[in-house]
Each structure stands twice: as C-alpha cells, then as structure tokens.
Chain A
C-alpha cells in the first residue's frame, strides 16, 4: 500500500512539474519557433531594411514592414487617445463618486463584456462605425471616405479595450486604503481634490500599467481591426484613409503565403515582431502590477 502511494506521488509530481515547465518554456518555444521560420528573411535582408523600408513587393522579394508598423501604431495610438481618458474618468466615477450599488452591478457586466469575442466587435464596427465614418464624420471634415479607415479601426479597438482597461483601473482604485482617503477628506479636501492628490497619485503605477496593457492588447488585436480598417498598403496621415496593421497582414495572407518565395517567412517575421513588442510591453507593465500587489 505504501509503495503504491509513494509511486503515485512520484508520478503525479512528475506530471505536475512537466505541466509547469512546459508553460514556463512556452514563450521561449514561441520565440524560437517563429525565429526559426523567419530566419530566411532575417538572413537575406538587414533588420533596418525590414523595419524601416517602405518597399513592400513580395513578388520581387522586397519586404519593407514600415507601412504595416505605421498602421499598427496609428490605430493603437488612436484607440488609446479615445479610450484611456474615458476609462480613467469612468473608473473614478464608479469607485469614488457613484453609488456602491452601481459598481456592484457594473463589475460583472464589465467582466462579461470583456469576454465577448473580437469578431463580434468587428461585426458591430462594420454595422455602425464604418457607415458612420463614411456618411457623417468624413463629410464633416470635407473628406470622402469609404468608412473602412484607420479611424474606424481605432474606434473599434477603443471600444474593445474599454472593458479590459476599466476592469484593471477599478481594481487599482479599490486597493487604495480607505484610511488615506479619509485622512485627505478630514483635512478639508473636496472629493475631487482627494481623487487628484491621493487616488491618482497613489494609484499612478497601476494606472500606467492598465494603460500599457491596454495598448499591448490593442496592438495585437487582429480580427476586429481587420474587418474595418480597409487593408490597403498606404502611409497616410489622414485618419480617413485605409491602413494595414501587422496582425491584419498576417491574417489576410495566410492563404497565398506558400506560393511566393520568402513570403511565409516574411509573415512569420511579422508575427515575431508582434510577439517581441507585446511581450516586452507586458513584462514591463506587469512588473509594476506585481510590485504593487506584493505590498
């Protein structure tokens, strides 16, 4: 009996270790796997050419990722500008000014909305945002636009990020000790002064992290953006012109990537680029969160 117990203990222990080690090795495996597939293109071109060249002619073997990186950055920044202040103020209202009941109702709702698949946000974007941009917003600025544009991509991304960032911000604000708030109020500060000088200041690392992780999420989002952004190769300053972010490039061309030489390795390079950028952003901002959680 004892032997069976000991052996099963050993076996389960190995199984547990294997599971954990596999998970911890996963980021390395992903990095190595993608690098392995992207190696032909990294070997054949200089990294500066790949990242900063605007020449994208896969048929001629020219792969400049600048237009894609530009579009990705454009929609991400746009999404951030649109959603970050909104989320910050909404989180302040829900945790500081609003009734406690409202927060209790909203928390599960936000949680559930964060789980809605991105393709549904994409459907909404096609139904609402694209026509709205084409018919109302673009004419307002005297521009003609099909609606499938960087602006639409940014708006849809912003809406997708709202539940995600709001959730994190509420968590950050809830960890601030009540005593601190009371101390500030007892010195005669108004509610808003308390928010300004205590909540924002004390929660600053958390707020920064929530924003950072929101950016990372927006940067890597694929399907919803792909559906509304137009997917045209172009570097344009106007938000009403179409763009072509990195994830959309990968998703759109998987069908034909085997038929053109080096094309598959170019797409894997795009995936590697996304992976590295997002992993770095994540590791950086998660570090903040973990530092604050430990205290």
Chain B
C-alpha cells in the first residue's frame, strides 16, 4: 500500500513536471520561430518606408503605413477609452464605496464584457458606422477599438483602486473635500501605478487586435492625415501579406510579425517597470 502511494506520487509529479516544462517549451519555441524567421526578413527599409508600386508583388517598400497607422489608431482609441473608462472606474471606487453588492455586480458585468471576442466588436462597430453614416476610416476604427479596450482599462484600473483603504477617503472627506476632489486628487493619485498599467495594457490590446478593425478601419498604403481617411494596421498588414502566394511578400509578413511582437513585449515590460516606479508615490 505504502509503495503504491509513493509510486503514484512520483508519477503525478513526473506528469506535472513534464506538463509545466512542455508549456514553457512551446511558448519559447513560438517566440523563437517568429523571431528567427522575421529577423532574417527585417531591414531598415521595411520599417521606414511606405509600400511602393508593385509592393504586393514583391516590389520595393516597407510597412511604415501599418506601423504608423496602428500607432494612430491605438493612441486615439486609448484616449477615448480613458475619457470613458477612468471616470467610470473612479465612480465605482468612490461614490459606490459603501455599496459592495453594486460594486460586485458591476465588476461581474465588466468581466463578462471583457470576454466578448473582438470580431463581435468589429461587427458591432460596422453597424454603428453605418448608423452614423461613416465609412471605413481612422475614426470608425478608433471608436470600435475604444469599445473593445475600455472594459479592459476599467477593470485593470479598478483592480488597483479597490485595494486602496477606505480610511484614506474618509480622511479626505473630513478635511472638507468634495467627492470629485477626493476621486481626482486622492484616489487617482494613489492608483496612478495601476492607471499606467491599465493604460498600457489597453494600448497593447489596441495595437494587436485585428478582427475588430477588419471591417471598420479599411486599408491603405498611405499614412492618414485626417480622421476620415482609411488606415492600415500592423496585424492586418501581416494577415494580408501572409496570404500572398509570393514568397517575398510572405517574408515581409514575418518581418511585420516581429515588429508587432517587439512592440507588444516592449509595452508589457515598460508597464511593469513604470508601475513599479510610480508605486513609490503611494501612501501606505
């Protein structure tokens, strides 16, 4: 009996050891393949030039339109998400602080909203676009991506805000400040590290998402100057180029994938770094 127990323990340990390391291996392998394939195809020309004539048949040029386009789109969407999301997150944690049940219900609904796939947001954005009389453009893309990333921003920010002790608010009220002043000057400041993490998380999602902008942002070889021009994005540029039968065009898709992955890694790492740095201002 005792040996069976020990044997079973060894077996379970072995299986779980294998599972853990194969997960690590698969994920590292993924990064390795994407980087090794892409870095070979990557050049300064790819990053810093627009597609030129015959680009999609293997001609000269690069993916600057998609890089700048993604950046514009994501910055716009993040600004919109902050305008809607930050007040909402503060409201949950200041005005509703005594209503635990309401808070939990709101969090529950927002979490469910987080799980809606981006293609649904894309289809909804398309409906909205028709309703507002817009055509596929930077503005329509920004609105759609903003809808997608706002719940993420709110929940990520809220996760930090909810750890702030109630006493801090009470101290602020007792000094005579209004709820708004408390929210903006005390709670927001206290949650600044969380805000930066949430901001970068939302920004990263905005850059990386393809399915939501497929309908709404259009595609172009130029960098948009106004809000009603179509815009190219990195994920879509990867997607379109990869479906080409020409090898050189596919190579560029690999290069674009490296650029995108690099941006995302940069954003995640700097989110970690910055949130540690700003955590210093927190009153404990």
User: Could you give, for residues 82-102 of chain B, a 1 whenever the CB lies within 8 Å of some chain A CB and a 0 otherwise?
Assistant: 011111101110010000000
Per the bound structure, the CA–CA distance linking A220 and B119 in Å amounts to 7
| Beta-carbon contacts under 8 Å, A214-273 to B | 216-217, 219-223, 227, 247, 250-251, 254, 267-268, 271
- Whether B26 pairs with A116 at a CB distance below 8 angstroms is no
Q: Is B171 on the interface with A (CB-CB < 8 A)?
A: no
Q: Is A172 on the interface with B (CB-CB < 8 A)?
A: no
- Whether B179 pairs with A9 at a CB distance below 8 angstroms is yes
B215 closest partner in A (C-beta): A254
Q: Is B282 on the interface with A (CB-CB < 8 A)?
A: no
- Whether B23 pairs with A123 at a CB distance below 8 angstroms is no
Q: Is A139 on the interface with B (CB-CB < 8 A)?
A: no
- Whether B118 pairs with A222 at a CB distance below 8 angstroms is yes
- Whether A12 pairs with B34 at a CB distance below 8 angstroms is no
- Whether B265 pairs with A112 at a CB distance below 8 angstroms is yes
- Whether B124 pairs with A286 at a CB distance below 8 angstroms is no
Contact segment of A44-52, A59-67, A159-167, A176-184: A159-167
Q: Is A8 on the interface with B (CB-CB < 8 A)?
A: yes
- Whether B127 pairs with A97 at a CB distance below 8 angstroms is no
A169 CB, nearest partner CB in chain B, Å: 11
Interface-centre pick from A9, A93, A166, A227 (highest chain B CB count, 10 A): A93
| A247-B119, A290-B104 as given contacts; A13 in contact with B95, CB under 8 Å | yes
Q: Could you tell me the dominant secondary structure of chain B's interface residues?
A: helix
**Which residues of B are found within 8 Å of A36, using beta-carbon distances?**
127
Q: Is A73 on the interface with B (CB-CB < 8 A)?
A: no
Total count of chain B residues near the partner, CB < 8 A: 92
| Beta-carbon contacts under 8 Å, B22-55 to A | 22-24, 26-27, 29-30, 33-34, 37
Total count of chain A residues near the partner, CB < 8 A: 93
Per the bound structure, the CA–CA distance linking A162 and B20 in Å amounts to 11
- A33-B127, A279-B112 given; 11 more Cβ-contact pairs under 8 Å: A19-B83, A19-B85, A33-B128, A90-B20, A115-B201, A127-B254, A163-B27, A191-B9, A222-B117, A223-B211, A290-B104
Chain B positions within 8 Å of A, measured between CB atoms, are 5-6, 8-9, 12-13, 15-20, 22-24, 26-27, 29-30, 33-34, 37, 83-88, 90-92, 95, 104, 106-113, 115-124, 126-128, 130-131, 147, 150-151, 154, 178-181, 183-184, 201, 204-205, 207-211, 214-215, 235, 238-239, 242-243, 253-254, 257, 260-261, 264-265, 267-269, 272
17 contacts between A and B (CB under 8 A): A5-B178, A13-B180, A16-B95, A20-B92, A27-B112, A30-B124, A89-B16, A90-B23, A116-B264, A123-B238, A213-B115, A220-B116, A250-B123, A268-B127, A271-B122, A279-B116, A287-B108
